[in-house]
Structure 1
Amino acid sequence: MVARLALAAALCFTAAPLAAQDTDTDDPYVWLEEIQGERALAKVDQWNADTEAVLTEQPEYPLAKAWAKQILDDTRQIALPDAIQGDMVTNLWRDADNPRGLWRIASLDSYTAGAPEWRVLIDVDQLGRDEGQSWIWHGANCLAPEYRRCLVSLSPGGTDADVVREFDIESGSFVEGGFTLPEAKSNVAWFDEDTLFVGTDEGAGSLTESGYPRLVKLWDRATDFSTARQIAEGEQADISVSGFSVLDGETRWRFVNRSPSFWTNEISLVKDDGSAVPLPLPEDAEFEAVLGGFVIAKLNSPFETGTGTEQAGALLAWSLEDVMRGSDPAPFAVFRPSETQAVEEVAASESKLWVKVLDDVSGKLIELTPGNGEWTAREMDMPANSTIQIAETSGTGDTAFVTVESMLSPPTLYAVPSEGDAAVIASEPAQFDASKFTVEQKFATSKDGTKVPYYLVRPKDAEGPLPTLIHAYGGFRAAQTPKYLTAEPYRSGPLGLFWVESGNAYVLANIRGGGEYGPRWHEDALREKRQNSFDDFHAVADDLVTNRLATPGRIAASGRSNGGVLVGAVANQRPDLYGAIISGSPLIDMRRYNKLLAGASWMAEYGNPDVPEDWAFMKEWSPYQNMSDDPGVPAAFYYLSTLDDRVHPGHARKAAAKHEAFGQTFYYHEYREGGHSVGSDHEEDAKRAALLMAYLNREIGKDAD
């Protein structure tokens, strides 16, 4: 096998005890945390070469790569709106000729008619060539209601750190002498046409321990940033502090948000003079939207309103006018989800609130109309048993732009008006013959009796167990909803399609830790309850085996980012069940994660390993500390980016080094650009999908022993 290598002399490794380590002082692989270290990159290059030498020679590799590139570059893809800007719409378009993208604009009328007349604003590829930079588009924030001036964010190589530059829509050029910020993890937003909210790296003391801005300043046009006036600051241990504004009709509401932890926020209303008045939202509520002078927030724990107790998951409204006057507004509920429902997305148009709800993981679109203390809800007529996502809403008029898809149905973009029928704007073409496959939603029973939903795709009329790929996430309230197979699993392009087209099965598991059933589903996997997430994943795999749909050892576990903790833990706990592990941009070393890049920001999710009481439960499942020298462990494939400045590449590197020292099979692909999302263009995305397909065939599929 590709990485069943002899002990590498360069590693000078002595096998560690099999029990989880209580400290990180004796870790022999800390040197691999030096992101651009010469020795570390030499080892990365070796692992990349070893992996490619084997997998690119597999007969399916060139076919899979070509097919993936064709799908990703298909010019018939939907041009999704980045933003609705008055009577205009913007979009970032990527294809074979424009791998980094064209940022462009068209009239809303031509767009909704299905025949947009685009004008290119920024050719990201050409800009990179002109400036000698590998620019990756990270979005634009345009000032409403004129939408003439925009703050454009560009990342060198795909890191979370951006360069921010002011752009003029009318002239199609960057503003000479306009607002500009150098590369940093900045928080930047419009205060008004001539003033910005800015939080950025100003040197010592300006960032939190998590590496995000600790200060918020107001920066006036045509002045040096050193003269900017500070209006808010957080603590060193906070996650971040930021300013932002929301246009509600003709009123611009301004806010400052301090995040003491990943799951708590202290939001204040900012007056014209920069002074602030705290909002009465619960600290763990999520700010969702502003409409008609009310701030809308989602509860994540029960809340006493004065007239009763509202349950977690409900949407509540508070009067901003009352806050501005200094009075204590009485909140009221505008939407209460049922037991099987969870509010996943909220967006405001001119006079309506649009809510995307999951109901047993199936999408529904709800329109809310404000009333006197009571808002009326109407479920919109959309395709059933589908994944629905709100792409954008119109600021003038009441139209939601919504995509609808399923595992076997390609995405369709609808314009959903408040009055009248939804209209199809664009549909992606079918990329495969869906009649060959079946999709079922099933429920497994976890160790504690919880019913865990999952989606299963198999070839129609297939009998008996099949090699099976299970993808899951299980964290940070992020629900995993079924997408068209060309996009499953996340960041692996059309791998799901390639896998089932080869006669295998693909599963999307909705394990706890996500937001599929609202706050409770997340809370059941927080900190000391994390094992519930792993038990849910095992339960899905066991359910497949029990029902003769899969075979132990011919099951692959796939996860990315937080999913790296997941697949690393399940591989350690049940090596009998899994034969392969796909771990993308992964968290793995939970003993040191809070010391690496943005890791400190996630301690509310996992725990603080420097606190003995927390490490006592974390060390039971931390993947790195529990790796075993057992030769029968599942073969892992790690994919990541050197420039990931969110999850440190050292996690995957150190896990690979342990596998190598143990003489175990592993595969490794570290891309030098791309940031946390890994791929910076479709060429790399296609290559990764093909490598993963060849790997799965080799380990659990047609080529497995």
Structure 2
Amino acid sequence: MPDPPETERREVVEEMHGEEIRDPYRWLEDDTEEVREWVERQNEYADRFLENDARERLEPRFEARAEVPEYGVVHARGDKYFQRVEDAGDDRAKLVVRSSPDADPTVIADPNEWDDGESLDWFHPSPDGSLVAYGVAEGGRENYDVTVLDVETGEPVDVLPDCGRIGPVGMAWTDSGFYYATTGSADEGGQLDQEIRYHELDTETGDDPVLVEDVGERVWSHLEITDDTLVVAFHEGWTRSEVFRWERDGEGRGDGELVRLVADADASFRPRVSDGTVYLVTDYDAPRSRVVACDADATGTDPDDLREVVPETEATLMDCTLAGDSLVVHRQRDAHSSLSVYDRSGDHRHDVALPEYAAIAREDFRANPDAPEFFVRAQSFDRPPWVARADTETGETTVVTERESETDRALPDLVVEQQFFESADGTEVPAFVVHREGVERDGDNPTVLYGYGGFRNNLTPQYDRFRTPFLEDGGIYVQANLRGGQEYGERWHREGMRENKQNVFDDFFAVAEGLIEREYTRPERLTAMGRSNGGLLVGAAVSQRPDLFGAVSCAVPLLDMLRFHRFLLGESWTVEYGSPDDPEDFAYLREYSPYHNVERGTEYPAVLFETAAGDTRVHPGHARKMTARMQAANASENPILLRTETDAGHKTGRPTSMVVAEELDRWGFLYDRLGVLK
């Protein structure tokens, strides 16, 4: 086994709440030429393991799976239907428009023809569909320029440069412009410096009036507009929000003040507005959420006085949307989706049929506010994503776009089961177990266990075109629904956050041990896989239970939980994790922080860390420092690898060619370590 590159220890010792904390690799947090050279050496070292026979054999199969179209959900506005589409052979998704759901598309913005490697990550049409705004970013950095396009002519009307972390939920159109929430750039450390402004079309952005300058600890803003009333929800983390309306007191859009619409409460509220009414998806007095409402001109409404429209049920209410005169509700029961249609007063009309174990992401649920129709992008473990139109009057659904490729049709019959595993405190934790028909429980199957467990993020059935070779080759894929998500409402989330974070790790271990006990696999053939907050999960798994896994795939992770709040968006995550500056929070963060629990002389499993130099959410220093510390401490012959993408961000903006290369790194590594093709 080749030795990893030498990494110099430069001891930094600081006292935190009476304890000495040693950080010998803090210098790897910096963006210097010295660090870039270290990253290059690590990439070269990783190549020695990742360029293996398994990768070579997977490459043609992955390239074939890349040559398929991908369709985003349809947005209907006015008499137009907008959609992001990536045709087979494209490297990036383009924006198209249709005159009806089944009409031929017209391309109105195509990043594949741009020169600078930019991506079009989101779009937001005006209410009549005559204009569309879209976000353009380079290298997945999520610092956006906003282009406003005339849909009929295809010509730009306006360009707003350097808008930071803007997105479609932070925009609201008027007849002559739009309100928008904008931040500073990641390069200048201003991602949390949020403002709300108003832009009049055909004016200089430097003249845009600022409505709100300082939003304090609020993480992001949700803007909606009805009858010229702007409704703003400020979200403080993932458990609490405040709802206001903008009351104008002059001629200009910037003249006025925020007036509290709903009285302050320790709960989450997400608005949907129409015809002077504000509908709110809330977990106030309803852990699995419900829909309540008030008038848009209300002031300081007590949450107890909000009108209940759709009550709480045993299924978790994820979202609602307004389609014509109907209210469409998306729920999840045991982490898969159901849809129901109500009238505006909350009387149930009918349910919309979905296949078993189908799932809809929150961003893949869009309605036509002016017609009795809505659109979803659904998927399951054994069916690629399809986009469907649903009629709110009849309940009928029609598939609008669905890919039909040879590689998808060649997928073998799959067994999909939802099983439950008992965690350390007795909690029953669900997990989806997916494998090819005929796979035997002989205790020796290569198995991948994927988890997340945080930020109310539910892990629902998803089709992954690059996972299918693993299933074809007899692998077992397991997706665990750990606490910290919202699968069973806000209580499930809170049992996996802050001082309860160890529950998430214990849930993960319970599923892993259960898979072994049920003779699906054994530790040497079991992989822990996670990314972002899921990277923290598998980082904790490898530091707490290195005996339980034969390999670990850890992407864009948080790993130093005593300094995460000092970088990029980290400060905003103290609501979810707690703050290292608080002595009580420090105690439990120190207890599980993966970086601080690496122990010299431990026999660790093989680990592939993945990060991106352009990540504007999770600082790449986490993966760098953890790699260095584990390479120095590891007493086994298993490699500890770091792969860094130099022209990528946390998640968005990756061209298909880069996605294929990353997936080959990941799955080639796992195939090799688990002996899938041997």
Same fold (TM over 0.5): yes
- Contact 2:145–2:159 (Cα < 8 Å) also in 1: no
Deviations 1:229-276 (A, max 9, x none): 33323354x1346472335xxx34412333444432222112344333
Deviations 1:586-619 (A, max 9, x none): 1111110000111000101000011111010111
Q: Which amino acid aligns with 1:405?
A: Q
Instruction: Give yes or no for the alignment of 1:285 onto 2:268.
Output: yes
1:34-45 map, 5 Å: 34-35=30-31, 37-45=32-40
Deviations 1:384-441 (A, max 9, x none): 3322454422222111222343212333332210123222323333625454432211
Give the aligned partner of residue 41 of structure 2: 46
Give the aligned partner of residue 300 of structure 1: 283
SS of 2:491's partner is helix
- Contact 2:11–2:22 (Cα < 8 Å) also in 1: no
Q: What is the number of residues matched between the two proteins?
A: 658
Q: Which amino acid aligns with 1:105?
A: V
SS of 2:81's partner is strand
Give the aligned partner of residue 32 of structure 1: 28
Q: Which amino acid aligns with 1:81?
A: V
- Contact 1:476–1:522 (Cα < 8 Å) also in 2: yes
| Equivalent in 405, 422, 425 of residue 400 of structure 2 | 425
Instruction: Give yes or no for the alignment of 1:121 onto 2:108.
Output: yes
SS of 1:633's partner is coil
Give the aligned partner of residue 313 of structure 2: 338
Could you tell me how far apart the structure 1 residues matched to 2:568 and 2:37 are? Answer: 22
Give the aligned partner of residue 308 of structure 1: none
- Mean Cα displacement is larger for which, 457-466 or 375-384? 375-384
Deviations 1:97-137 (A, max 9, x none): 431232221112xx2x3xx312111121322x1xxx22121
Give the aligned partner of residue 694 of structure 1: 668
Give the aligned partner of residue 305 of structure 1: none
TM-score normalised according to structure 2 size: 0.90
| Equivalent in 246, 256, 264 of residue 270 of structure 1 | 246
Instruction: Give yes or no for the alignment of 1:148 onto 2:130.
Output: yes
Deviations 1:32-74 (A, max 9, x none): 2224x21111111111122123222x22313323322322331
- Give the direction of change, closer, same or farther, for the CA distance of 1:461–1:450 in structure 2 (3 Å limit): same
- Mean Cα displacement is larger for which, 326-335 or 189-198? 326-335
Give the aligned partner of residue 313 of structure 1: 288
- Give the direction of change, closer, same or farther, for the CA distance of 1:609–1:629 in structure 2 (3 Å limit): same
Give the aligned partner of residue 194 of structure 2: 214
Q: Which amino acid aligns with 2:408?
A: Q
1:28-427 map, 5 Å: 28-35=24-31, 37-56=32-51, 58-75=52-69, 77=70, 79-95=71-87, 97-108=89-100, 111=101, 113=102, 116-127=103-114, 129=115, 133-144=116-127, 146-175=128-157, 178-182=158-162, 184-186=164-166, 189-190=171-172, 192-200=174-182, 211-234=191-214, 236=216, 238-240=217-219, 242=221, 244-247=223-226, 251-273=227-249, 274-280=256-262, 282-302=265-285, 311-321=286-296, 323=298, 330-339=305-314, 341-371=315-345, 374-376=346-348, 378-389=350-361, 390-420=364-394, 421-427=396-402
Q: Which amino acid aligns with 1:94?
A: E
Q: Which amino acid aligns with 2:44?
A: A
- Mean Cα displacement is larger for which, 213-222 or 318-327? 318-327
- Give the direction of change, closer, same or farther, for the CA distance of 1:326–1:343 in structure 2 (3 Å limit): closer
- Mean Cα displacement is larger for which, 162-171 or 427-436? 427-436
- Contact 1:314–1:335 (Cα < 8 Å) also in 2: no
SS of 2:113's partner is helix
- Contact 1:440–1:455 (Cα < 8 Å) also in 2: yes
- Contact 1:498–1:693 (Cα < 8 Å) also in 2: no
- Contact 2:95–2:110 (Cα < 8 Å) also in 1: yes
Deviations 1:644-671 (A, max 9, x none): 1111111111111112222562122211
Could you tell me how far apart the structure 1 residues matched to 2:322 and 2:20 are? Answer: 48
Q: Which amino acid aligns with 1:265?
A: S
- Contact 2:239–2:267 (Cα < 8 Å) also in 1: yes
TM-score normalised according to structure 1 size: 0.86
The Cα of 1:641 is off from its aligned counterpart by: 1.4
SS of 1:297's partner is strand
- Contact 2:233–2:269 (Cα < 8 Å) also in 1: no
- Contact 1:413–1:427 (Cα < 8 Å) also in 2: yes
- Give the direction of change, closer, same or farther, for the CA distance of 1:198–1:645 in structure 2 (3 Å limit): same
- Give the direction of change, closer, same or farther, for the CA distance of 1:217–1:689 in structure 2 (3 Å limit): closer
Gaps of 5+ in 2: 250-255
- Contact 1:15–1:662 (Cα < 8 Å) also in 2: no
Could you tell me how far apart the structure 1 residues matched to 2:393 and 2:609 are? Answer: 49
Could you tell me how far apart the structure 2 residues matched to 1:254 and 1:359 are? Answer: 33
The Cα of 1:558 is off from its aligned counterpart by: 0.6
Instruction: Give yes or no for the alignment of 1:474 onto 2:469.
Output: no
The Cα of 1:377 is off from its aligned counterpart by: 5.2
Instruction: Give yes or no for the alignment of 1:520 onto 2:496.
Output: no
Instruction: Give yes or no for the alignment of 1:597 onto 2:568.
Output: yes
Could you tell me how far apart the structure 1 residues matched to 2:520 and 2:304 are? Answer: 55
Gaps of 5+ in 1: 303-310, 487-493
Give the aligned partner of residue 307 of structure 1: none
Instruction: Give yes or no for the alignment of 1:535 onto 2:532.
Output: no
Deviations 1:495-524 (A, max 9, x none): x22222222211011111111111111011
SS of 1:275's partner is strand
The Cα of 1:96 is off from its aligned counterpart by: 5.3
SS of 1:212's partner is coil
Deviations 1:162-219 (A, max 9, x none): 11232221220212xx352335334763452434434445799xx9x87223332334
- Give the direction of change, closer, same or farther, for the CA distance of 1:210–1:448 in structure 2 (3 Å limit): farther
- Contact 1:383–1:404 (Cα < 8 Å) also in 2: no
The Cα of 1:687 is off from its aligned counterpart by: 1.3
| Equivalent in 569, 572, 576 of residue 540 of structure 2 | 569
Q: What is the root-mean-square deviation in Å for CA atoms of aligned residues?
A: 3.0
SS of 1:65's partner is helix
Could you tell me how far apart the structure 1 residues matched to 2:20 and 2:105 are? Answer: 55
The Cα of 1:152 is off from its aligned counterpart by: 2.3
Give the aligned partner of residue 4 of structure 2: 5
- Give the direction of change, closer, same or farther, for the CA distance of 1:49–1:220 in structure 2 (3 Å limit): same
- Contact 2:233–2:271 (Cα < 8 Å) also in 1: no
Could you tell me how far apart the structure 1 residues matched to 2:335 and 2:164 are? Answer: 37
Could you tell me how far apart the structure 1 residues matched to 2:436 and 2:171 are? Answer: 49
Greater RCO, 1 or 2 (C-alpha within 8 Å, sep 6+): 1
- Contact 2:261–2:301 (Cα < 8 Å) also in 1: no
- Give the direction of change, closer, same or farther, for the CA distance of 1:346–1:450 in structure 2 (3 Å limit): same
Give the aligned partner of residue 684 of structure 1: 658
- Give the direction of change, closer, same or farther, for the CA distance of 1:143–1:405 in structure 2 (3 Å limit): closer
- Contact 2:434–2:478 (Cα < 8 Å) also in 1: yes
- Contact 1:407–1:483 (Cα < 8 Å) also in 2: yes
